[in-house]
Structure 1
Amino acid sequence: MLSLVMLCLALWALRNLGSDVSYRQVARYVHGLEDWRIALAVLLTALSYGVMTLYDWFGLAAIGRRLPRAQVSLISFISYAFSNALGMALLISGSIRYRFYIQAGLSTAEVAKVVLHCTVSFWLGLSALTGVTLLLVPVPLTLPLAQLRLPVAVLLTLIPLLWLFGNRLMPRPLRVWRWRLSMPSTASAARQVVTGAVDWGLAATVLYLLMPNEVDTGFGHFLAIFALAQIAGLISHVPGGLGVFEAVMLAGFGATGNEGLEAPILGALAAYRLIYYFLPLLAATLLVVVREVRGLRSKALLAPWFTNLLPPFFAVLTLVSGAVLLFSGATSALHSRMDILRGVLPLSVVEVSHFLSSVVGMLLLILARGLLRRLDAAYVLTLVLLVVGAVLSLLKGIDYEEAMLLSILALGLAPAHQLFYRRASLFDTSFSVRWVVAILAVLGCAGWLVMFSYKHVEYSRNLWWEFSFYHGGAPRALRALVGATAAGLLFALAHLMRPARPRIHLPTEAELVKALPLIKHYSSAQAHLALTGDKTLLFDPEERAFIMYDIEGRSWVAMGDPVGESDEARRELVWTFREQCERAGGWPLFYQVRPEDLDLYLEVGMNLLKLGEEARVRLDGFNLDGKSKKVLRNTVNKLTRDGLRLEIVPVEAVADLLPRLKPISDAWMRDKKVREKGFSLGTFDPHYLCRTPMAVVWQGDEPVAFANLFLTDSKEEASLDLMRHMPDGNAGIMDYLFVQLMLWARQEGYRWFNLGMAPLSGLHSRRTATLWSRFGAMVFGRGERFYNFRGLYRYKDKFDPEWESRYLAVPTNIALPMALANVASLISGGLSGMVRR
């Protein structure tokens, strides 16, 4: 929101400061720049980006790591090319460095140190250059806050000085919370300050070289204004300081007696943007596309976190390409190029091409969201529109620069089809508020550019119907803007008129029958919880997988991972479920998901919180031998001598047995003073219990304990859900039930026996752990009065299980306490169940 407000203020300031400036004047200055100036500016830009690589070199040296020179230079160039153009340098350059340095073998902590070193060097150089310049050069008193020049100069100069001599002032490491900060040596600090100052000095020299000769300021005055404008742009967080930097530069030069030179100054700033920001960004994009496309051929790089980076990358570039087409449609073509077209094409072709190019630009803004959602249709349409947009750019004004940009993106996107695998409709894709604001911001900037470019054209109704090679720029821009706006509104209308989301309902008998084969063939026995009938089932269109979920408050909670053997169907269901939740204004949550499926949730941008650990006993090694099993062995032997025996009752015989088991369940609940739970636990419901086999412990002719069984056809896993026994029965009867079931399952050929989850186990309270992990570890250790966390873990651990982590997948920016309360409410059977047993 701050960036958006700053952008609007900057555009308003630019409009006021350049009220007498026309787009033609700005374009005339840019195209009139001498070739030697442009060549020298490009050379100095390359030198500046070369100096930036020293940030990474010195950062790696500071942590004692060495990497190949070419590799470090490539990483540094790509990170700064993107962060300079897109803003938010710490986030963007830090993310890119993390991506590449992790591949190069650095640890997360080492990458963080390199990023911190580069960021500090970046700001130290700017601070030193600005401070010294303000000390030596008296800025005009008409500049805003000019009276504070000396205090600001002293403060900015003092920061790098303190950094230079910090190791002498603070020889011991400074402890800040859980971190220890050591000041660098004087030599290392000097390298940081000098590198940053040279980098910023070269950047300023590039712009100074492009400025008009008539600007009556020395390099010192220019450098002071430049540094202050850069600081304002960086603080605003507007991508590349766009608009903010230009507004401060215009205000600064206007206050130094350069009135009437606004058009040449804006022309110099536009050329500076192209040379210092756009050309490196284009080169870095080419390098990344080539590198990543090559990486797709290497199986070693096809990790989930790797492939997750490319769709957002292509989505951002598509968004930028759409903005370029819209901005190009808002301005007039060069007269020299229109002269060429006049002798080759009829006017109607030029008019139609100009109109359609802006429509294509708007469609690319919309399709970028589809690329982010990995939609196959969005991929195909984007590829087609990029090619069409490149052709239209040539036909409307021989804009070969735009055509080249769109063609390069199309070439990079073409081999990445496998990353866009979803067959969902683009109209079913949800558009977040931020995404809508981004599209509206681009469209608003295009409208502002139309007003700025043709503000000297007198508006009339006849303007819409004027067609001309030389005097038709304004009508073409207006028609193109209306066409782009209409395309966006039509899509929004079609999106609003999509079918209503399906109504939530409990599964029918037919749905449960349809789900049963998927449950039986799934690797996890916990999929049988779908048979409880208290959760809605969401199937994929081909019915190869399903998600079981329920709703509490704003939380749409899916129990476990998608159930099914088809990875493609399961992956698509996660996307479908999330989009269905977003359309309804809900929070998608996946409860108790397994480690092997975490990529399903990371791919859709969800966070993962560890809930605890699940106990799974490997049956081929399970027995009662050894000293550690002495207590279990004695319990089983004693109860066997007392006449207890285990019977596995098949599904078809369970219904007749339930009347004899009901008293056991009622007595157990009265003794425990609890009520039936739900969602992740079954209840004593005949419709549910008759769908699974039953394990019954008999003493003579009377049942004394029972548990319903979850058995997979693949015999990968066996488990149980509802466990009840007579309160006044034999001591150790549940141990007897578990042991006998495991021995039976081993004999039947099952690989694992699932004992269920121990909540909050395996969470740590180390200083480096997350806040959630430390909170969970505290509750696990001290929350016995609310729930028997430790006791449950110790009970299951005596069977020597292998503990496997289970997670909660949640969206970003969620009200986590409320979401956790909603999950607890579902399991407890309502809010009252959370406070009552």
Structure 2
Amino acid sequence: MYATLLRRAGGPLLSVLLLCLALWALHAMASEVTYRQIGAYVHGLPNGDIALAVLLTAAGFAVMTLYDWFGLASVGKRLPAKRVGLISFISYAFSNALGMSLLVSGSIRYRFYVQAGLTTGEIARVVLYTTLSFWLGLAALTGVTLLIVPIPPEVPLSGLRIPLAVLLTAVPLAWFGVAVFVRRPIRVWRWAISSPTPLVAARQILVGAFDWGLAAGVLYVLMPEAIVGGFGHFLAIFVLAQMAGLISHVPGGLGVFEAVMLAGFGATGNHGLEAPILGSLAAYRAVYYLLPLCVATLMVIVRELRALRHAALITPWFAGLLPPFFAGLTLVCGAVLLFSGATLAIPGRMELLRGFVPLPLVEAAHFLSSVVGMLLLILARGLQRRLDAAYWLTLVLLVLGAVLSMLKGIDYEEATLLTLLALALAPAHRHFYRRASLFRATFSPGWVLAIAAVFACATWLVFFSFKHVEYSNNLWWEFSFRHGGAPRALRALVGAAAVVMLFALANLIRPARTRRARPNEAELARAMPLLKQFSSAQAHLALVADKALMFAPEDKAFIMYDVEGRSWVAMGDPVGEDEDARRELVWSFREECERAGGWPLFYQVRPEDLDLYLEVGMNLLKIGEEARVRLETFNLDGKSKKTLRGTVNKLARDGLRLEIVPVEGVPAMLPRLKLISEAWMRDKKVREKRFSLGLWDERYLSRTPMAVVWQGDVPVAFANMFLTESMEEASVDLMRHLPEGPAGIMDFLFIELMSWAKANGYRWFNLGMAPLSGLQNRRTAPLWSRFGAMVFGRGERFYNFRGLHRYKDKFDPEWEPRYIAVPGGIALPLALANVASLISGGIGGVVRR
């Protein structure tokens, strides 16, 4: 347990530690700098420099689009440039400002590209291409710069300049060398990566370097003209600072990037320029990070307002981006309010405010604005989880925050940002449909890190902005227009801290939900109407009663699941016809697993329900195909059915007949059928399976009709039946026959059952799964697909994969893919082993038949 906790929290804790060290270093290096000096430099920047920085930022984001464009070309896919540009802009606006780990730029791409028709393997290759280009460009630019530009010995690690430069330059050169000389996949541990062509490799390196060069140019035009060393020295320090920020995993490199930049320029003879350098860094954050987010917000407002008149404009791939998009912007707005509350208001605006707003109202507005900021940081997680309550509270707090921003210091800039987000969020209520409690939302280590990082920066800003003020106990009770900045900031910081502590306390004292036991008869009775009306007959597996049941409110849907190790495995899709209830159940199940420290998995899910799992950020792996016979066209005519036709006719002449025993007649039959089951088990030398299959249990078998094959007065085979009242599908589960029975008896059973189901108006007959069927073993296929295809072709020693597929295929079924939905980042082999253990009745059953 402690090892798991350390593994999950170790990275975020290290990032928080690095952030605190960076803030301490910034405080030490800028000990003589005041907040007013930084603000004066920012306000004094020439309009021409700001316009050039904005232009370079636009060019940089245009270049970033090439990552995705060329990445799609590398997998042979072409998508509309407008779509690619929009998804690239939104994902990079988030990842640049907030870090990849927070809003998971890769998962946003995954959702978009899956809905655009790309396979999981193709998406993985696109993400790999973009990530590799990103780092190759940075390594190339950093290595070449350090080789060319000498660094003063005062710069930390300057003695390692040449070795570091050679190492970084060697990375893109090695990649290009692979492209020129290697023509086979490159094996890295268990992974095989297709070698690029020379053109692709050169394109990756150049695009990445150009992207980073433009980012450096944005900051350079904002820097003071008096900096020593010119662009070469600046570029060397910039790329090293960016690397430090990325390695720290602090969202946006906040604090770490600034500390390295200030240390680098301080060591190269720029003494006395600390305030202008920090001012240029603040302007850089606003232009290169905050401005794209504002532009993205305007784009969403326009699109949402147009969608109010033309619903078709909001396409599924775009709608899937909106919740994480709004969550990111809410996080930014919360940070802006906290940072604003930690700094000194503009004196001229305070003097203007003094004329018509009473001091108590100003003090209350300042305090409450920081409280609202912290609440927005917390609510951002609820927006990402699509909570209805989070939507309404966020909307109210954004409007309230805008009003408070004006009352506390006429901060119209942040009021405008909050108002824009409120306008964009207002028409988007349909995307936040979950009625779950805010206190049930789980916070991942990444989200905790983001909130901790923002609060740490706000704390640092308080002490930095008012370091000239001597602390005393009386400071807390000082209220003044002219000299009340420090007391207001301290009180606001305590208010924000109180909010997050109270929320954490409410989560800690929340009653722990115990893991549910196996269902009793009352729960099975609640599930019965749902599974009878469900489109898939496999929902009847709930009647085995070996899996716990999780119900939606008002019993509109349920999930059946079991736990093995850390894996909470749901069998199939949520059962029920109410789509909102089914969608909410997927969210609730995932949150329940996260609270218990487990991995949520959904086993054997159908293609029509994939959006349920993509929506909560899960990944999908194909695990096989299910055989379903369309009964409307089913018959034994034609040459291909000659063998089946002959078998059925022969066994009918030998006196075999099928009887459908209704539920009420099954208990009386079970003693005779048990003899068949025991003989079959002895002959096959197998043990009972479970979870995705039924087992011999008289209580379970008494809940379903039974198909019995008779030879005279003796039963020789049986199968319990899954029948839906919607007449959509019929199926069977537990099938047994006497070993000494006539040859072809199972063919006879299936043919007679399908004929009976067709005559009674059923549309489909489900023959069940063929595990690992349909997986590709191509060189470009994902590792899981190739491994599964290999086992399907060569794993007959352990399981008759190919033989099972051939047997079902002779009934001419339509093969439909089935998937397993898993959260990203889990130990997939262990999770799959847990699933196998569930099905086999324990680890021993995995290796024994």
Q: State the distance in 1 between where 2:400 and 2:104 align.
A: 31
Verify: 1:553 aligned to 2:553, yes or no: no
Q: Kindly tell me: are residues 236 and 688 of structure 1, through their superposed partners in 2, closer, same or farther at Cα, counting changes over 3 Å?
A: closer
Verify: 1:374 aligned to 2:355, yes or no: no
1:403 corresponds to: 415
2:577 corresponds to: 565
Number of residue pairs matched by the alignment = 827
Aligned partner of 1:582 among 574, 590, 594: 594
2:465 corresponds to: 453
Q: State the distance in 2 between where 1:97 and 1:133 align.
A: 34
Q: Kindly tell me: are residues 391 and 612 of structure 1, through their superposed partners in 2, closer, same or farther at Cα, counting changes over 3 Å?
A: same
Verify: 1:202 aligned to 2:217, yes or no: yes
Q: Is the 8 A contact 1:212 1:265 kept in 2?
A: no
Q: C-alpha offsets along residues 615-661 of structure 1, whole Å, 9 cap, x if unaligned?
A: 11111111111111111111111111111111111122222222222
Q: Kindly tell me: are residues 75 and 648 of structure 1, through their superposed partners in 2, closer, same or farther at Cα, counting changes over 3 Å?
A: closer
Q: C-alpha offsets along residues 146-196 of structure 1, whole Å, 9 cap, x if unaligned?
A: 455567678888999999xx79x9877754425242323999899869956
Q: Kindly tell me: are residues 103 and 360 of structure 1, through their superposed partners in 2, closer, same or farther at Cα, counting changes over 3 Å?
A: same
Q: State the distance in 2 between where 1:719 and 1:256 align.
A: 77
80-89 or 67-76, larger mean C-alpha shift: 67-76
Verify: 1:643 aligned to 2:643, yes or no: no
Give SS of 1:808's match. Answer: strand
The Cα shift of 1:144 comes to 2.9
Q: State the distance in 1 between where 2:204 and 2:818 align.
A: 46
Q: Is the 8 A contact 1:304 1:603 kept in 2?
A: no
Q: Is the 8 A contact 2:658 2:707 kept in 1?
A: yes
Alignment of 1:120-139 (within 5 A): 120=133, 127=140, 131=144, 135=148, 138-139=150-151
1:444 corresponds to: 456
Q: State the distance in 2 between where 1:368 and 1:827 align.
A: 39
Q: State the distance in 1 between where 2:545 and 2:342 align.
A: 58
Q: Kindly tell me: are residues 799 and 65 of structure 1, through their superposed partners in 2, closer, same or farther at Cα, counting changes over 3 Å?
A: closer
Q: State the distance in 2 between where 1:550 and 1:713 align.
A: 27
Aligned partner of 2:197 among 182, 189, 194: 182
Q: Kindly tell me: are residues 329 and 764 of structure 1, through their superposed partners in 2, closer, same or farther at Cα, counting changes over 3 Å?
A: same
Q: C-alpha offsets along residues 652-709 of structure 1, whole Å, 9 cap, x if unaligned?
A: 2222222222222222222222233222222232222222111111111221111111
Verify: 1:814 aligned to 2:826, yes or no: yes
Q: State the distance in 1 between where 2:208 and 2:529 align.
A: 67
The Cα shift of 1:304 comes to 4.9
Q: Is the 8 A contact 1:125 1:200 kept in 2?
A: no
Give SS of 2:398's match. Answer: helix
Aligned partner of 1:758 among 767, 770, 783: 770
2:809 corresponds to: 797
Alignment of 1:42-191 (within 5 A): 42-50=51-59, 53=62, 81-87=93-99, 120=133, 127=140, 131=144, 135=148, 138-147=150-159, 174-177=183-186, 179-184=194-199
Q: Is the 8 A contact 1:370 1:429 kept in 2?
A: yes
Q: State the distance in 1 between where 2:204 and 2:726 align.
A: 63
The Cα shift of 1:817 comes to 2.6
Q: C-alpha offsets along residues 496-540 of structure 1, whole Å, 9 cap, x if unaligned?
A: 233331442222222222221111111111111111222222111
Q: Is the 8 A contact 1:55 1:195 kept in 2?
A: no
Give SS of 2:740's match. Answer: coil
Give SS of 1:709's match. Answer: strand
Q: State the distance in 2 between where 1:193 and 1:659 align.
A: 73
Q: Kindly tell me: are residues 429 and 57 of structure 1, through their superposed partners in 2, closer, same or farther at Cα, counting changes over 3 Å?
A: closer
70-79 or 788-797, larger mean C-alpha shift: 70-79
Give SS of 1:814's match. Answer: coil
Unpaired segments ≥5 residues, structure 1: none
2:715 corresponds to: 703
Verify: 1:720 aligned to 2:729, yes or no: no
Verify: 1:423 aligned to 2:463, yes or no: no
Give SS of 1:475's match. Answer: helix
The residue identity in structure 2 corresponding to 1:734 is M
Report % sequence identity. Answer: 68
Give SS of 1:681's match. Answer: coil
Which has the higher Rg, Structure 1 or Structure 2?
A: 1
Q: Is the 8 A contact 2:142 2:165 kept in 1?
A: no
Q: C-alpha offsets along residues 757-813 of structure 1, whole Å, 9 cap, x if unaligned?
A: 111111222112222112211222222121121221111111111111111122222
388-397 or 59-68, larger mean C-alpha shift: 59-68
544-553 or 265-274, larger mean C-alpha shift: 265-274
Q: Kindly tell me: are residues 299 and 171 of structure 1, through their superposed partners in 2, closer, same or farther at Cα, counting changes over 3 Å?
A: same
Q: State the distance in 1 between where 2:202 and 2:563 align.
A: 61
Q: Kindly tell me: are residues 327 and 148 of structure 1, through their superposed partners in 2, closer, same or farther at Cα, counting changes over 3 Å?
A: same
1:350 corresponds to: 362
The residue identity in structure 2 corresponding to 1:676 is E
The residue identity in structure 1 corresponding to 2:339 is F
Q: C-alpha offsets along residues 174-226 of structure 1, whole Å, 9 cap, x if unaligned?
A: 54425242323999899869956873563254123xx165x555555545544
Verify: 1:498 aligned to 2:510, yes or no: yes
Q: Kindly tell me: are residues 88 and 543 of structure 1, through their superposed partners in 2, closer, same or farther at Cα, counting changes over 3 Å?
A: closer
Alignment of 1:426-825 (within 5 A): 426-825=438-837
Q: State the distance in 1 between where 2:123 and 2:318 align.
A: 20
660-669 or 590-599, larger mean C-alpha shift: 660-669
Q: C-alpha offsets along residues 384-443 of structure 1, whole Å, 9 cap, x if unaligned?
A: 101111111111111111111111111111111101001111112222232222222221
Give SS of 2:553's match. Answer: coil
2:190 corresponds to: none
Q: State the distance in 2 between where 1:578 and 1:75 align.
A: 26
The residue identity in structure 2 corresponding to 1:781 is G
Q: Kindly tell me: are residues 429 and 661 of structure 1, through their superposed partners in 2, closer, same or farther at Cα, counting changes over 3 Å?
A: same
Q: State the distance in 2 between where 1:674 and 1:233 align.
A: 57
Q: State the distance in 1 between where 2:68 and 2:840 align.
A: 53
Q: State the distance in 2 between where 1:821 and 1:681 align.
A: 17
Q: Is the 8 A contact 1:305 1:599 kept in 2?
A: no
TM-score, normalised to structure 1, is: 0.89
2:49 corresponds to: 40
Give SS of 1:556's match. Answer: strand
1:324 corresponds to: 336
Q: State the distance in 1 between where 2:846 and 2:600 align.
A: 21
Q: Kindly tell me: are residues 297 and 624 of structure 1, through their superposed partners in 2, closer, same or farther at Cα, counting changes over 3 Å?
A: farther
Q: Kindly tell me: are residues 159 and 671 of structure 1, through their superposed partners in 2, closer, same or farther at Cα, counting changes over 3 Å?
A: closer
Q: C-alpha offsets along residues 21-66 of structure 1, whole Å, 9 cap, x if unaligned?
A: 23233234333x15xx134322343145336636757996996999
Q: C-alpha offsets along residues 102-158 of structure 1, whole Å, 9 cap, x if unaligned?
A: 9999999799789958975996599569846873x6543322344555676788889
The Cα shift of 1:335 comes to 0.9
Q: State the distance in 2 between where 1:430 and 1:97 align.
A: 23
The residue identity in structure 2 corresponding to 1:257 is G
Q: State the distance in 1 between where 2:822 and 2:616 align.
A: 10
Q: Kindly tell me: are residues 577 and 590 of structure 1, through their superposed partners in 2, closer, same or farther at Cα, counting changes over 3 Å?
A: same
Aligned partner of 1:27 among 16, 36, 39: 39
